[in-house]
Amino acid sequence: MKIADGFRSLLSIKTDTKAPEHGGSCCHGEEACERPPGASGPAPAQQLEVTVEKGYRPARLTARAGSPLRVTFLRNETSGCSKEVVFPGLGIRRALPTGERVSIDLPPQPAGTVPFTCGMGMMKGGIEVR
Ligand SMILES: [Cu+2]
């Protein structure tokens, strides 16, 4: 039963094309919103900071290819929309508690753009790696 429900909600996320009203909840499962462990280990040389408030600020970041990076998000709002951040290409999904800095370590990236979005892909940002 649980598995079927989870699968159905996955399907509904994938097939739901109409954008929900901004400010609505992005999260459909408790699991996805679990507080993640903080980034661990020594900080990589490349560090990026993103403030989350009515979008990602800045929404476009730049980084160097081939070297690990740490992206730190600080969410300054309580909108349900932004309570998770997702790096779709990297399989990363993290909760962003309001007022808490959440650091996400990314492995070295090839040149290109690393997109990130809110839990439902409404808010968009990206790291330009070059
Ligand atoms: Cu959203």
How does pLDDT run across 112-123, given as a tens digit for each residue? 999 999 999 999
Q: How confident is the model at residue 65 (pLDDT cuts 50, 70, 90)?
A: very high
Q: How confident is the model at residue 40 (pLDDT cuts 50, 70, 90)?
A: low
Please give the distance, rounded to the nearest whole angstrom, from the Cα atom of residue 20 to the centre of ligand 1.
Answer: 8
Q: Is 5 helix (H, G, I), strand (E, B) or coil?
A: helix
Please give the distance, rounded to the nearest whole angstrom, from the Cα atom of residue 126 to the centre of ligand 1.
Answer: 15
Please give the distance, rounded to the nearest whole angstrom, from the Cα atom of residue 119 to the centre of ligand 1.
Answer: 5
Q: What is the pLDDT of residue 43?
A: 80
In the chain the domains, ranked by start, together with CATH numbers, are 2-129 (2.60.40.420)
Strand ranges of the sheet holding 56-57, from the earlier edge strand across to the other edge: 56-57, 46-52, 69-75, 101-106
pLDDT at residue 18 greater than cutoff 90: no
CA dist., res. 89 & res. 126, Å (int): 11
Please give the distance, rounded to the nearest whole angstrom, from the Cα atom of residue 77 to the centre of ligand 1.
Answer: 12
Please give the distance, rounded to the nearest whole angstrom, from the Cα atom of residue 42 to the centre of ligand 1.
Answer: 31
Strand ranges of the sheet holding 84-87, from the earlier edge strand across to the other edge: 60-63, 124-129, 112-118, 84-87, 92-95
pTM surpassing 0.75? no
